[in-house]
Amino acid sequence: MVGHMRVGILALQGAFREHAQTLGRLGVETRLVRRPAELEEIEALVIPGGESTTIGRLLFEFSLVDKLLAKAKEGLPVFGTCAGMVLMAREIEGIEQRTLGLMDITVRRNAFGRQVESFEADLQIPVLGDKPFRGVFIRAPFVTRVGAGVEVLAEFEGKPVLVRQGKLLACAFHPELTNDLRLHRYFLEEVAKA
Protein backbone atom coordinates (compact mmCIF):
# COMPACT_ATOMS: atom_id res chain seq x y z
CA MET A 1 0.00 0.00 0.00
CA VAL A 2 1.30 3.41 -0.89
CA GLY A 3 -1.32 5.37 1.01
CA HIS A 4 -4.35 7.18 -0.27
CA MET A 5 -3.79 8.92 -3.53
CA ARG A 6 -5.90 9.49 -6.62
CA VAL A 7 -3.88 8.87 -9.76
CA GLY A 8 -5.05 9.87 -13.21
CA ILE A 9 -4.20 7.89 -16.32
CA LEU A 10 -4.40 9.65 -19.65
CA ALA A 11 -6.86 7.44 -21.52
CA LEU A 12 -6.86 8.76 -25.08
CA GLN A 13 -5.14 5.75 -26.68
CA GLY A 14 -2.67 3.03 -25.75
CA ALA A 15 -2.00 0.91 -22.68
CA PHE A 16 -4.01 2.87 -20.10
CA ARG A 17 -5.99 -0.13 -18.80
CA GLU A 18 -2.79 -2.00 -17.93
CA HIS A 19 -1.56 1.00 -15.92
CA ALA A 20 -4.91 1.13 -14.13
CA GLN A 21 -4.52 -2.55 -13.17
CA THR A 22 -0.97 -2.07 -11.94
CA LEU A 23 -1.90 0.99 -9.89
CA GLY A 24 -4.97 -0.82 -8.56
CA ARG A 25 -2.70 -3.57 -7.26
CA LEU A 26 -0.79 -0.92 -5.36
CA GLY A 27 -4.02 0.08 -3.65
CA VAL A 28 -4.35 3.56 -5.10
CA GLU A 29 -7.51 5.00 -6.59
CA THR A 30 -7.29 5.57 -10.33
CA ARG A 31 -9.23 7.80 -12.65
CA LEU A 32 -9.16 7.73 -16.44
CA VAL A 33 -8.50 11.21 -17.80
CA ARG A 34 -10.03 12.41 -21.06
CA ARG A 35 -11.22 15.94 -20.21
CA PRO A 36 -9.46 19.00 -18.83
CA ALA A 37 -11.69 19.08 -15.71
CA GLU A 38 -10.55 15.57 -14.77
CA LEU A 39 -7.01 16.90 -14.36
CA GLU A 40 -8.30 18.89 -11.37
CA GLU A 41 -9.30 15.73 -9.53
CA ILE A 42 -5.98 13.91 -9.46
CA GLU A 43 -2.73 14.04 -7.48
CA ALA A 44 -0.49 12.40 -10.09
CA LEU A 45 -0.74 11.48 -13.77
CA VAL A 46 0.45 8.57 -15.91
CA ILE A 47 0.86 9.03 -19.67
CA PRO A 48 0.82 5.53 -21.18
CA GLY A 49 2.57 3.99 -24.14
CA GLY A 50 0.79 3.71 -27.43
CA GLU A 51 1.30 5.87 -30.48
CA SER A 52 2.74 9.25 -29.58
CA THR A 53 1.47 10.92 -32.76
CA THR A 54 -2.10 9.78 -32.01
CA ILE A 55 -2.02 10.59 -28.29
CA GLY A 56 -0.41 13.94 -29.10
CA ARG A 57 -3.05 14.82 -31.67
CA LEU A 58 -5.86 13.89 -29.28
CA LEU A 59 -4.26 15.90 -26.46
CA PHE A 60 -4.60 19.00 -28.61
CA GLU A 61 -8.05 18.05 -29.99
CA PHE A 62 -9.44 17.40 -26.51
CA SER A 63 -8.00 20.74 -25.29
CA LEU A 64 -5.99 19.02 -22.58
CA VAL A 65 -2.64 20.63 -23.25
CA ASP A 66 -3.01 24.00 -21.51
CA LYS A 67 -4.46 22.53 -18.34
CA LEU A 68 -1.91 19.72 -18.27
CA LEU A 69 0.99 22.15 -18.63
CA ALA A 70 -0.47 24.41 -15.94
CA LYS A 71 -0.90 21.49 -13.52
CA ALA A 72 2.63 20.25 -14.20
CA LYS A 73 3.94 23.73 -13.48
CA GLU A 74 2.09 23.67 -10.16
CA GLY A 75 3.90 20.42 -9.36
CA LEU A 76 1.63 17.62 -10.59
CA PRO A 77 3.82 14.49 -10.70
CA VAL A 78 3.82 12.89 -14.16
CA PHE A 79 5.06 9.44 -15.21
CA GLY A 80 5.35 8.80 -18.97
CA THR A 81 6.03 5.37 -20.43
CA CYS A 82 7.25 4.78 -24.00
CA ALA A 83 5.03 7.03 -26.14
CA GLY A 84 4.41 8.89 -22.87
CA MET A 85 8.15 9.54 -22.64
CA VAL A 86 8.14 10.85 -26.21
CA LEU A 87 5.30 13.23 -25.34
CA MET A 88 7.07 14.50 -22.22
CA ALA A 89 10.28 15.29 -24.09
CA ARG A 90 11.23 18.80 -25.09
CA GLU A 91 12.50 17.58 -28.47
CA ILE A 92 12.25 14.62 -30.77
CA GLU A 93 15.33 13.99 -32.84
CA GLY A 94 14.92 14.76 -36.52
CA ILE A 95 11.13 15.15 -36.50
CA GLU A 96 8.82 18.10 -36.13
CA GLN A 97 6.24 16.64 -33.78
CA ARG A 98 4.40 18.58 -31.13
CA THR A 99 5.03 17.37 -27.60
CA LEU A 100 4.24 18.62 -24.12
CA GLY A 101 7.91 19.50 -23.63
CA LEU A 102 7.78 18.88 -19.87
CA MET A 103 11.24 17.35 -19.51
CA ASP A 104 14.55 18.74 -20.67
CA ILE A 105 15.41 15.71 -22.80
CA THR A 106 15.67 14.83 -26.47
CA VAL A 107 14.40 11.42 -27.55
CA ARG A 108 14.73 9.36 -30.69
CA ARG A 109 11.54 7.52 -31.64
CA ASN A 110 11.59 3.83 -32.60
CA ALA A 111 15.23 4.09 -31.67
CA PHE A 112 16.20 0.44 -31.37
CA GLY A 113 15.74 -0.16 -35.08
CA ARG A 114 13.61 -2.38 -37.23
CA GLN A 115 15.09 -5.82 -36.59
CA VAL A 116 14.49 -5.52 -32.89
CA GLU A 117 11.26 -3.56 -32.85
CA SER A 118 10.24 -5.39 -29.71
CA PHE A 119 12.36 -7.20 -27.13
CA GLU A 120 12.77 -7.77 -23.44
CA ALA A 121 15.87 -7.22 -21.36
CA ASP A 122 16.85 -7.26 -17.71
CA LEU A 123 17.66 -3.75 -16.55
CA GLN A 124 19.72 -2.68 -13.59
CA ILE A 125 17.82 0.11 -11.86
CA PRO A 126 19.76 1.02 -8.71
CA VAL A 127 16.89 3.04 -7.16
CA LEU A 128 14.76 -0.14 -7.21
CA GLY A 129 17.38 -2.35 -5.57
CA ASP A 130 19.60 -5.18 -6.79
CA LYS A 131 16.99 -7.38 -8.42
CA PRO A 132 16.87 -6.62 -12.16
CA PHE A 133 13.72 -5.14 -13.66
CA ARG A 134 12.34 -6.81 -16.79
CA GLY A 135 12.17 -4.13 -19.47
CA VAL A 136 9.56 -4.73 -22.16
CA PHE A 137 10.52 -2.59 -25.15
CA ILE A 138 7.96 -2.15 -27.95
CA ARG A 139 9.13 0.12 -30.76
CA ALA A 140 10.72 2.03 -27.95
CA PRO A 141 12.44 5.39 -27.90
CA PHE A 142 15.65 6.16 -26.07
CA VAL A 143 17.03 9.41 -24.76
CA THR A 144 19.77 11.10 -26.78
CA ARG A 145 20.24 14.25 -24.68
CA VAL A 146 19.62 15.02 -21.03
CA GLY A 147 19.49 18.55 -19.65
CA ALA A 148 21.24 19.68 -16.49
CA GLY A 149 18.35 18.92 -14.11
CA VAL A 150 17.73 15.41 -15.43
CA GLU A 151 18.95 12.25 -13.68
CA VAL A 152 19.52 9.04 -15.66
CA LEU A 153 18.19 6.18 -13.48
CA ALA A 154 18.79 3.33 -15.93
CA GLU A 155 20.49 2.64 -19.23
CA PHE A 156 20.28 -0.17 -21.74
CA GLU A 157 23.35 -0.69 -23.92
CA GLY A 158 24.57 2.72 -22.85
CA LYS A 159 21.35 4.51 -23.79
CA PRO A 160 19.26 6.23 -21.11
CA VAL A 161 15.89 4.47 -20.81
CA LEU A 162 14.69 5.77 -17.42
CA VAL A 163 15.05 9.42 -16.48
CA ARG A 164 13.82 11.71 -13.75
CA GLN A 165 13.53 15.46 -13.45
CA GLY A 166 12.08 16.46 -10.08
CA LYS A 167 8.49 15.21 -10.02
CA LEU A 168 8.67 13.95 -13.59
CA LEU A 169 9.61 10.36 -14.45
CA ALA A 170 9.83 8.80 -17.91
CA CYS A 171 10.83 5.36 -19.17
CA ALA A 172 11.24 3.91 -22.66
CA PHE A 173 9.82 0.50 -21.71
CA HIS A 174 6.46 -0.82 -20.45
CA PRO A 175 6.48 -1.56 -16.69
CA GLU A 176 2.68 -2.00 -16.78
CA LEU A 177 3.14 -5.13 -18.91
CA THR A 178 5.06 -6.94 -16.16
CA ASN A 179 3.96 -8.08 -12.71
CA ASP A 180 6.69 -6.00 -11.13
CA LEU A 181 5.17 -3.12 -9.21
CA ARG A 182 8.43 -1.51 -8.14
CA LEU A 183 8.65 1.27 -10.72
CA HIS A 184 5.05 2.44 -10.21
CA ARG A 185 5.66 2.29 -6.45
CA TYR A 186 8.85 4.32 -6.86
CA PHE A 187 6.90 6.93 -8.83
CA LEU A 188 4.22 7.21 -6.14
CA GLU A 189 6.45 6.98 -3.08
CA GLU A 190 9.60 8.79 -4.14
CA VAL A 191 8.96 10.93 -7.22
CA ALA A 192 5.45 12.17 -6.45
CA LYS A 193 6.24 12.93 -2.81
CA ALA A 194 9.56 14.64 -3.48
* Annotated binding-site residue numbers for L-glutamine: 50-52, 109, 138-139
Examine residue 34 and tell whether it contacts ligand GLN (CB under 6 A). Answer: no
Asked whether 54 and 31 are in contact (CB, 8 A), the reply is: no
Examine residue 50 and tell whether it contacts ligand GLN (CB under 6 A). Answer: yes
Q: In the bound complex, what is the minimum distance in angstroms from residue 88's beta carbon to ligand GLN?
A: 12
Residues 6+ away with beta carbon under 8 Å from 46: 7, 8, 9, 10, 16, 19, 23, 78, 79, 80, 81, 84, 187
Strand 168-171 versus strand 78-81 pairing type: parallel
Examine residue 110 and tell whether it contacts ligand GLN (CB under 6 A). Answer: yes
Question: Among this protein's residues, is 82 annotated catalytic?
Answer: yes
Q: In the bound complex, what is the minimum distance in angstroms from residue 21's beta carbon to ligand GLN?
A: 17
Question: Among this protein's residues, is 4 annotated catalytic?
Answer: no
In the set 31, 38, 43, 51, which binds ligand GLN (CB under 6 A)? 51
Phi-psi region of 58 (alpha: psi -120 to 50; beta: other; left: phi over 0): alpha
Examine residue 52 and tell whether it contacts ligand GLN (CB under 6 A). Answer: yes
In the set 46, 82, 125, 171, which binds ligand GLN (CB under 6 A)? 82
In the set 20, 138, 150, 161, which binds ligand GLN (CB under 6 A)? 138
Strand 133-138 versus strand 118-123 pairing type: antiparallel
Decide whether 63 or 118 has the Cβ nearer to ligand GLN. 118
Asked whether 90 and 101 are in contact (CB, 8 A), the reply is: yes
Q: Closest Cα partner for 100 from 81, 116, 86? A: 86
Query: How many residues belong to the site for ligand GLN (CB under 6 A)?
Result: 12
CA distance 155 to 62: 34
Helix axes 52-61, 65-73, angle to 10 degrees: 100
Q: In the bound complex, what is the minimum distance in angstroms from residue 131's beta carbon to ligand GLN?
A: 24
In the set 33, 45, 83, 89, which binds ligand GLN (CB under 6 A)? 83
Question: Among this protein's residues, is 174 annotated catalytic?
Answer: yes
Catalytic residue among 18, 19, 171, 176: 176
Burial class (CB in 10 A: 0-12, 13-18, 19+), 31: middle
By the criterion CB under 6 A, which residues form the site for ligand GLN? Answer: 49-52, 82-83, 86, 109-110, 138-139, 141
